[in-house]
């Protein structure tokens, strides 16, 4: 068998400016990867790099030729473990670049078996979840409008970005227009440990599910301090990047939040889920602002998760790919009628 690869960069505008404690963005840049087998079957994946982790579309595009060369050299998409090991050995950083290739390979392999990826993995499509919908930082009235729109669109779980001097007012405002929604908040490392405890004590009155990454990842003792005293469950995101981080956060949080773009691939993600379970943690899969070209693959992990934060494609003004159906935010794997991840690119 022979494999051919192709790479393409695209800039995608967001529906609304997306603000977190570290700044605001209005577009995201992705790098698409296609892997074509000699029978014509093509797998699709994408990288959505984050500068916070030292990765950009430019760095992804720079290393992808080396990663694609590995795929073409091995020539067998079914040798997933061998290919991903070679990619890690060749490019130790740039996890989003490796993830793009990993997704495209898994898409290709499942298509060759003519089954959706969840079935290739042996998972039950009825054991799935509702994704949260993220309300980014903005002025209060705009955040109110975004939350109202999300509720009107049928989303029952909202994630609210915090990390300002008006955090309590933000949550009070969101809860006023979404009284029945499941809410959780994400500080994106913005608080000190003592500030986190003070705010969490006040936030608890708004019936929040949990608080994500209250303190900087560079302060593991601070995370443990908050976890041991918090009135709400704690999720680790920036503190949970790769498999090696799971044992380190096991006594510092309740929930491990993995992201494909952080960990480097689907096989690594599944290892992280297993390790988190072994350490007694709940598991969430999050995302960056991404296309369905990558979100679709993450959706197939839903039967293994406790929480899903896979709204990256829902935040785009226009997505070049279709993916797994998400009526009212529910990840409907059983409703997927295509093999592979379900991602289908437009013709533009």
pLDDT tens for 255-290 read 999 999 999 999 999 999 999 999 999 999 999 999
Q: Could you give the angle at the alpha carbon of 266 between the alpha carbons of 309 and 233, nearest 5°?
A: 35
* For the chain, domain boundaries: 3-114, 119-345
How many angstroms separate the CA atoms of 120 and 175, rounded?
40
pLDDT of residue 128: 87
Q: What is the pLDDT of residues 283-342, one digit of tens each?
A: 999 999 999 999 999 999 999 999 999 999 999 999 999 999 999 999 999 999 999 999
* Percent of the chain with pLDDT strictly greater than 70: 99
Q: At what angle do helices 167-177 and 140-152 cross, to 10 degrees?
A: 30
Reply yes or no on whether the pLDDT at 76 is more than 80. Answer: yes
Segment 3-30 shows an average pLDDT of 94
Give me the sign of the Cα torsion angle 174, 182, 196, 273: negative
pLDDT of residue 346: 85
CATH 1.20.1050.90: does it fit domain 119-345?
Answer: no
Reply yes or no on whether the pLDDT at 73 is more than 60. Answer: yes
Domains 3-114 and 119-345 are alike in CATH topology: no
Question: What are the angstrom distances between the C-alpha of 249 and each of 193, 244, 302, 304?
Answer: 16, 10, 22, 19
Reply yes or no on whether the pLDDT at 348 is more than 60. Answer: no
Lowest mean pLDDT among 16-30, 72-86, 181-195: 16-30
Pairing mode, strands 157-161 and 182-186: parallel
How many angstroms separate the CA atoms of 38 and 41, rounded?
7
Cβ atoms of 157 and 286 within 8 Å: the answer is no
**Which residue from 258, 233, 223, 234 is spatially nearest to 244, judged by alpha carbons?**
258
Q: Quick one: pLDDT band at residue 92, thresholds 50, 70, 90?
A: confident
pTM of the full structure: 0.96
CATH of domain 3-114: 3.30.390.10
pLDDT of residue 347: 66
Question: How many other CB atoms sit within 10 Å of the CB of residue 61?
Answer: 17
**Which residue from 248, 250, 171 is spatially nearest to 209, judged by alpha carbons?**
171
């Amino acid at each position: 068998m022979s494999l051919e690869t192709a790479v393409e960069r695209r800039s995608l505008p967001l529906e609304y400016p997306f603000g977190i404690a570290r700044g605001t963005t209005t577009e995201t840049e992705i790098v698409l990867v296609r892997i074509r087998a000699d029978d014509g079957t093509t797998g699709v994946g994408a990288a959505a790099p984050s500068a916070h982790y030292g990765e950009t579309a430019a760095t992804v595009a720079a290393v992808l030729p080396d990663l694609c060369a590995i795929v073409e050299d091995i020539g067998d998409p079914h040798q997933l473990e061998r290919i991903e090991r070679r990619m890690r050995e060749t490019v130790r950083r740039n996890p989003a670049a490796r993830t793009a290739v990993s997704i495209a390979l898994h898409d290709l392999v499942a298509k060759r078996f003519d089954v959706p990826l969840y079935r290739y993995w042996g998972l039950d499509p009825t054991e799935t979840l509702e994704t949260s919908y993220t309300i980014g930082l903005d002025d209060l009235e705009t955040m109110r409008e975004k939350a109202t729109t999300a509720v009107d669109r049928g989303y029952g779980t909202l994630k609210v970005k915090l990390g300002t001097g008006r955090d309590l007012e933000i949550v009070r405002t969101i809860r006023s227009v979404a009284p029945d929604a499941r809410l959780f908040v994400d500080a994106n490392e913005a608080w000190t440990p003592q500030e986190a405890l003070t705010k969490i004590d006040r936030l608890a009155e708004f019936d929040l599910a949990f608080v994500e990454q209250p303190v900087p990842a560079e302060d593991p003792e601070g995370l443990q301090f908050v976890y041991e005293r918090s009135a709400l469950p704690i999720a680790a995101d920036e503190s949970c990047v790769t498999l090696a981080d799971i044992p380190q956060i096991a006594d510092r949080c309740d929930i491990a939040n993995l992201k494909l773009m952080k960990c480097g691939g689907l096989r690594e993600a599944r290892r992280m889920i297993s390790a988190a379970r072994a350490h007694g943690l709940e598991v969430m899969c999050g995302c960056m602002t991404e296309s369905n070209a990558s979100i679709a693959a993450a959706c197939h992990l839903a039967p293994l998760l406790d929480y899903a934060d896979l709204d990256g494609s829902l935040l785009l003004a226009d997505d070049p790919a279709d993916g797994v159906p998400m009526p009212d935010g529910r990840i409907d794997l059983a409703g997927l009628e295509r093999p592979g991840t379900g991602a289908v690119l437009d013709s533009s």
